[in-house]
Structure 1
Amino acid sequence: MKKVAVLTSGGDAPGMNAAIRAVVRKGIYEGLKIIGVKRGYAGLIEGDFEPLERRSVADIIHRGGTFLRSARSEEFRSKEGRRKAVEQLKYIGADGLVIIGGDGSFKGAQLLGEESDIKTVGIPGTIDNDIACTDYSIGYDTALNTILDAMNKIRDTATSHERTFVIEAMGRHSGFLTLMSGLAGGAESILIPEFDFDLDQVCQKLEAGYERGKLHSIILVAEGIGDNFQTSRDLNESKAFALGEEISKRIGLETRVTVLGHLQRGGTPTAQDRLLATRLGAAAVDVLLTGETNKMVGVIHDQIEVAEIEEAIESQKDVDEGLYELADILSL
């Protein structure tokens, strides 16, 4: 192993820069040459490369986003597209590839490793925290704190105007981010894809709270919640708006909706995300130096663990039902 490429793929997540920095500096320490791939798999196919030195990653550990940038690539989904990517890596003499991203990025890494002799290792980087074989993924903690900050500010307005606010968080089809931020932020109701909900019960809880003298209520909703409530609104729009509309219609409470959207992906990474990214970046280099391929590095019980990337892709990471029940108990 003499030369390793590194790329970020899929949605950006705070801490990706810290992971790149660790890959570069640990790799150089081990005598490797490191090549940065710009714009993810799209840049890999096009040969958009940049040699990275120690100074290339100076002063990026605190920056959000990814300085290598990221992009979707439909071409990489085809075998021909991946063949072009391998040719580009061979052309620059790269023996290994570090991929920082989510499950879609990991699938690309798996296929690349199976169809060539390029050694691949994945680093979980997604605010959704939905990747198996690791307790946490890079960006999750920062996004969690971003949501909490937004909830705190919205609560001030909600109390001032005695209103119900519906807040929509990201997470695709996973409720990790929504559940944990709702539990930490004291939301009155938390609606996530993993569990069905009864809108009548949500409304009853809201009414009971106001009867006890509550001045506001916050309902935290994951973007991937199911369509198990009736509404005339187009559900191609944010489900949070449909939910807010239905609550107003059923019990007459004035509601406001806030969709946090891509705000959750940005910002300075927390200390937790910087430390996680640094540890995983260095571990990825160690894995490549052993000659292994199609692996991922993660952290379980605060210890670095190496798993088959296929296991991470095919396994489902379950939300803790006990925490979901606890959030409901504490909101009464």
Structure 2
Amino acid sequence: MKKIAVLTSGGDSPGMNAAIRAVTKKSMYHGIEVYGVYRGYEGLMDGDIKKLELKDVGSIIHRGGTFLRSARSEKFKTEEGQAQAIENMTKHGIDRLVVIGGDGSYRGAQALHKKGIKTIGISGTIDNDINGTDYTLGFSTAMNTVMEAVDRIRDTATSHERTFIIEVMGRHAGDIAAWSGLATGAESIFIPEKTIPKSEMMYRLKTGFERGKTHSIIIVAEGVGSAEEFATYIKENSDYDPRVTVLGHIQRGGRPVAFDRILGSRLGGKAVDLLMDEVSGMALGLEKNEISVHDFDYVFQKKKADELEEISVLSSELSI
């Protein structure tokens, strides 16, 4: 193996730069040329491919986002788009690729694998919704970002004796809401995998204030509904006047925490090891603190929600 390429695709996540850095430096250590693909699969089709040097990955491990930039691509889903991407890789003499991203990115990687390009996937997404890994790259940082925001909001909620409804990311996965809700002591948490009746939320609010609580925090994953909808429900069924905060894309950015920097480095290094061993069509994750390797078909299976259910139940028990 003489040449390897790396790209980031889909939504950015903290720790992607650490993974790119690891792929680049480990490859160079073994005498392999590394090429960065800018703007994900769009860049692969457009030929936006540049040979990376050590200076290109210097001082990036602490930066959020991805210096290779990212984009979503509908065209790459077509046979024409994939053929164009492979042609550009062939021009550079590249037949190995590390793809850092989520489910959609993995499907693109699998398509290239089936067409003869050796590919390894690294789970980079803040949603933590990838099967075959306990934690995805960027999830820990996103969860900490939410936790810090909620801690700040709680100060204001306490000062003004108010209820705050905080909407977090998670259209199909409630990991951010569940984990950050437990970490911040939220009174109610709403996630797609396990919803509770809004009447239960009202019961917790009323009994809490009756026993002297001065504020309440409710965390809602965007896949369940908007924070505004929940605020309207509370206003229509009580005398409370809740406030809404939508954290939005603030959850994606920021300096990666130590866990994501280390995880990105471990996954990036392992990806190079596998490609050197002629392994392809596999996705990397972390299970029981060990690097796990699963084929893409396994990763595409729905992630078990047992852990989230446990967290939701515990959060309910601790909300009294």
TM-score after normalising by structure 1: 0.95
Tell me what 1:250 maps to: 237
- The gaps in structure 2 that reach 5 residues or longer are none
> Per-residue CA shift, 1:187-208, capped at 9, x if unaligned?
0000000013211111011000
**Secondary structure, counterpart of 1:314 in structure 2:** coil
**Secondary structure, counterpart of 1:257 in structure 2:** strand
- Contact preservation (8 Å) 1:130, 1:317: no
| Aligned CA distance change for structure 1 residues 277 and 2 (closer, same or farther; 3 Å) | same
Instruction: For 1:20 and 1:147, locate their aligned partners in 2 and report how far apart those are by CA, in whole Å.
Output: 25
- Contact preservation (8 Å) 1:294, 1:310: no
Instruction: For 2:316 and 2:302, locate their aligned partners in 1 and report how far apart those are by CA, in whole Å.
Output: 27
Tell me what 1:326 maps to: 314
**Secondary structure, counterpart of 2:167 in structure 1:** strand
Q: Which of residues 253, 256, 263 in structure 2 aligns to 1:276?
A: 263
Tell me what 1:19 maps to: 19
One-letter identity of the residue aligned with 1:250: N
Tell me which moved more, 38-47 or 320-329. 320-329
Tell me what 1:168 maps to: 167
> Per-residue CA shift, 1:81-118, capped at 9, x if unaligned?
1110111111100020000000110011011111x211
**Secondary structure, counterpart of 1:215 in structure 2:** coil
Q: Where do residues 117-266 of structure 1 align in structure 2 (5 Å cutoff)?
A: 117-225=116-224, 239-266=226-253
**Secondary structure, counterpart of 1:251 in structure 2:** coil
**Secondary structure, counterpart of 2:299 in structure 1:** helix
Tell me what 2:47 maps to: 47
Identical residues among aligned pairs (%): 53
Superposed CA RMSD in Å reads 0.9
Q: Where do residues 94-109 of structure 1 align in structure 2 (5 Å cutoff)?
A: 94-109=94-109
> Per-residue CA shift, 1:107-162, capped at 9, x if unaligned?
11011111x21100000000000101111111101001100000011001111111
Instruction: For 2:252 and 2:208, locate their aligned partners in 1 and report how far apart those are by CA, in whole Å.
Output: 33
Aligned length: 319
- Contact preservation (8 Å) 1:163, 1:217: yes
Matched, 1:316 2:303: yes
TM-score after normalising by structure 2: 0.98
- The gaps in structure 1 that reach 5 residues or longer are 227-238
Structure 1 stretches of 4+ moved >6 Å = none
> Per-residue CA shift, 1:5-55, capped at 9, x if unaligned?
100000000110000000000011122110000000000000001111112
Instruction: For 1:29 and 1:57, locate their aligned partners in 2 and report how far apart those are by CA, in whole Å.
Output: 14
**Secondary structure, counterpart of 2:278 in structure 1:** coil
One-letter identity of the residue aligned with 2:287: I
Q: Which of residues 275, 288, 293 in structure 2 aligns to 1:306?
A: 293
